Each structure stands twice: as structure tokens, then as C-alpha cells.
Amino acid sequence: MPVASLPSPYGIGDFGNYCYQFVDFLAECGVHVWQILPLNPLGYGNSPYQPYSSMAGDELYIDLEDLRHQGLLRGKLPRNLSRAAAIDYEEIRRKKGELLREAFRHFQPDERYEEFISQEWVYPYAVFLTFKKQNGLRSWLEWPQEQKEWPSGQGVDETQWAEDIAYEMFVQYTFYRQWIALKQYANRREVEIMGDIPFYVGVDSLDVWMNRENFLLEADGRPAFIAGVPPDYFSETGQRWGNPIYDWERLAKEDYSFWIKRIAYTAKLFNKIRIDHFRAFDTYWKIPADCPTAVEGQWVEGPGIDFFKRLYQEYPQLDIVAEDLGEMRPQVYELRDACKLPGMDVVQFNFDLQKGDTHSEERMISYTGTHDNETIRQWFREKPKEEQEQCRAFLRKQGIDTRHIAHAFVTYTMQRPAELAIVPVADLLGLGEEGRLNTPGTLGAPNWQWRLADFGRLKRQKAFLTRVIRGTGRG
């Protein structure tokens, strides 16, 4: 369940009361893991996978009620920052930004704040976002030369914008403080949080602006090659993501410090980390930047086990999940197993492709679907009648009641021999197309806009969810 999709009086889910209510719901049902989408600042297309930074958080998730209780916002808060049924990112960002500016004016830094902003990424990110806002949110590639070159120490003197930079650091501190409080609450209720780290970073990000030497870029900073995947289950022309490709040779010479810092900071925020597009550690699809689709490209070997040996030398206790979906060569699974990582097994794919499991029973996470899939109800309804009946017959053989088809697949997913079973809330609710989060290969609405208006319908699923968790021995 994405944080953004939770109910809220402010048009988007945040770290406020509804988030704590959701944790309570999970704990009361016997759920012990909540998987979320990345919380980094949303970039192109409001996608969580095109963030402005690997470490910063998006201000949209900040709880305004908490700021009022802190005395930083005074008077009544507006109860409707947006009346839209779906998330209206632009309107909410504009109105919430006005309130955050007001809170900043009343904020007094303390020792915890000073400790937070001493981290090496915080001040540069504040400068990056300040410059970005000055340039109408255009990519840093289109900024004036003196701002583009600030990371080299040969650009503009940023101190003339000291107040705007301080505001951005206040926003990041507030995000971090509220999120850690929520995570600690969830952990006390025996709910772990599985976060998500995108494999690639966006070209329009602090990561690339500050670390251009770690990517295959042209002299002007534009990508020479871009990331994606060739034609597959999701798209006939592949997926052209547009992210720059890493210079793995250089990263290896620096002991992969760029990547290790990303993962180490993410581990502070979450109990478990799902690495999106894990296969790129083995082989990645390298597309010429001038190719309009992902059809042209080549598979190139990634850092493989060498990276993970270095990572675990420094951080041996990391709890990592490998997103290993799609067409894989055997070496991807060998790498995953050598690192003793659980992979992902999606029920929809197993039925569609009639493929066998590529996981050991102990090291598998079973899903009805992910944020990129149709909801299970939508997927089932779009099947021919003959295939629908085949699915029902299979489920009935497992002793599952198929009258509520979404619940039937949730039950089957919970029954599978997997270390974890994770179910999208939209599938628990039995939603159709209206509950889909994202369609790969497409941009803009309705991607990433789905949200719950309230908890009424979800709470009515409490008895079913509790029963299926206990009945499958997962409590």
C-alpha cells in the first residue's frame, strides 16, 4: 500500500493519523510486513521511480497536524487541499508548500536538526532544489551554466539564497523526523516496513548533478546511453525508462561507494529493502540515447557478486529482497541465490505463462500482483471464459471458495510455500481497473493517482484478512 494512497483530508496520504490507523489495522489482522513505494521526491510523471534524490523525501508526505501540534502552524488547517478523487499532485504541492513555508517561519533549529543537516547530502540537495525552483522546475541540464557547475566549486555563490536553502533543509528534517516516528510505532506493533530502492536514478536528480563521473554521460551532461528493458510481457517495444547508465568500471574502482551509501541510508528508513530491477546487477539493457524505443540495445554484464561482497563486508545485517521479475537468464537466479536473497513470485504470471517456480520455497515472496500489474480482479475479468473456468477449477482443487474471485486469489497467495505473502490493498478490496496503480510504458494520469477516500471498505475486510492469515499459518 503506497503511503500516498492512504486516506487523508489533504488530498494525498501522509504520515499523519490515517497512516497510524493503517498500521493499527495491519497489526490487529496479524500482518507483519507493510510494503510501500519509494518515498523520494517525485520527479518526471510523478513517478516514484524517477526521483530527484535517492536520499531526500517528498514534502507531500509531511503531516500538517503534527506541525500544528508543534506550534509551527497556527489556527485551523484547511480540511480539503484537494477535492479530487484521485491525487492531484500539482494542486496539493502548491497548497501544502504554502503551509510548510509558514511552519518554517516559526521553526527554531535545535541539536537534532543540526545533526540531521550535517549529513553530506542534505545541504547539496537543498541547493539543488532551490536552483530547480528558480528555473521553473526545469532539469538541471537547462539551468544557467554557473548553477549547473555549482558541484565543481566553480559555479555561482549560493549564499545569496540562504533562506530558501534553509527552508529545504527544514522540509527534509521534518520529513525524516515524522517518518522515523511512524516507523518506530509500526515496529513496536510488530509491523516491519519494506521500502523500495529504484535501481536507476533519474538524470534530473541530485545523484547525477553531484556525481556525473559515475554515469555514462555526454560532455554536456546528457545521457549517452539510457536504461530500460527489451520487449517483454508488458510491452511489445520494450520499456525506455530514460535513466542514465552507471559507469560500473569507475564505481568498482571506488569500491561502489555511491551505491553503498544509497543502500546504507535507505536501511535507516526501512526494515527491509526491495531492490527494483535486481537483474541489472547481473546484466542490464543498454539503449543508445537517440533510440526512440527500447527495441535497440544490448545486454551488458553488471558488477555481479563483486558488488554484493563489498556491500556485505560493510553492512552484513542488511535485509534485502530481489525484484527478479521478467525474462531472466539463469545467472540472475544464481546471483540472487548466492547472495541468499528472496525473490518475487507473482501469481498472475504463473497462471499466464504457465511457468514453474524459479525460487526455493524458503526464499520466495508470493504476490497476487505488484504496483505494475492489473488488479487481480481486472486481470481475471479480461480473461476468456474458458480460462476463467480453468482458474476457478484449479483454485477449487486447493480447497478455495471462488465466489469472491479476488479473495480466492488472496487466499491462494497466502497458501503458497513462501517466506512472505504480500497482497496489494486493491486486491484485498476486490477493486477492478479503478484500483490499478501504474501501467508500465505509459506516462501521466491515471498512473500513481489511486487513493482511498476512507477506511470504511478496508475495515470490512478485517474479518476475512484475519481469518486467511490464521488459516494459512501466517499469523
Neighbour order of strands in the sheet with 239-244: 239-244, 225-229, 283-288, 298-301
Instruction: Identify the CA nearest to 195 among candidates 264, 122, 123, 116.
Output: 264
Whether 7 contacts 167, CB under 8 Å: no
Catalytic hit among 14, 59, 282, 323: 323
Return all residues near 235 (Cβ < 8 A) that are at least 6 apart: 294, 440, 441
Catalytic hit among 164, 232, 296, 372: 372
The count of other CB atoms within 10 Å of the CB of residue 112 is 11
| CA 282 to chain centroid | 21
For the question of residue 387 being annotated catalytic, the response is no
Instruction: Identify the CA nearest to 419 among candidates 463, 469, 361, 344.
Output: 361
**Rounded distance between C-alpha atoms, residue 20 and residue 5, angstroms:** 14
Catalytic hit among 58, 196, 276, 345: 276
Whether 64 contacts 52, CB under 8 Å: no
For the question of residue 306 being annotated catalytic, the response is no
The count of other CB atoms within 10 Å of the CB of residue 327 is 12
Phi, psi of 409 (to 5 degrees): -70, -35
Q: Is the dihedral of CA 140, 143, 146, 147 positive or negative?
A: negative
For the question of residue 372 being annotated catalytic, the response is yes
Rounded to 5°, angle at Cα 441 from 439 and 443:
75
Q: Which residues form the catalytic set?
A: 276, 323, 372
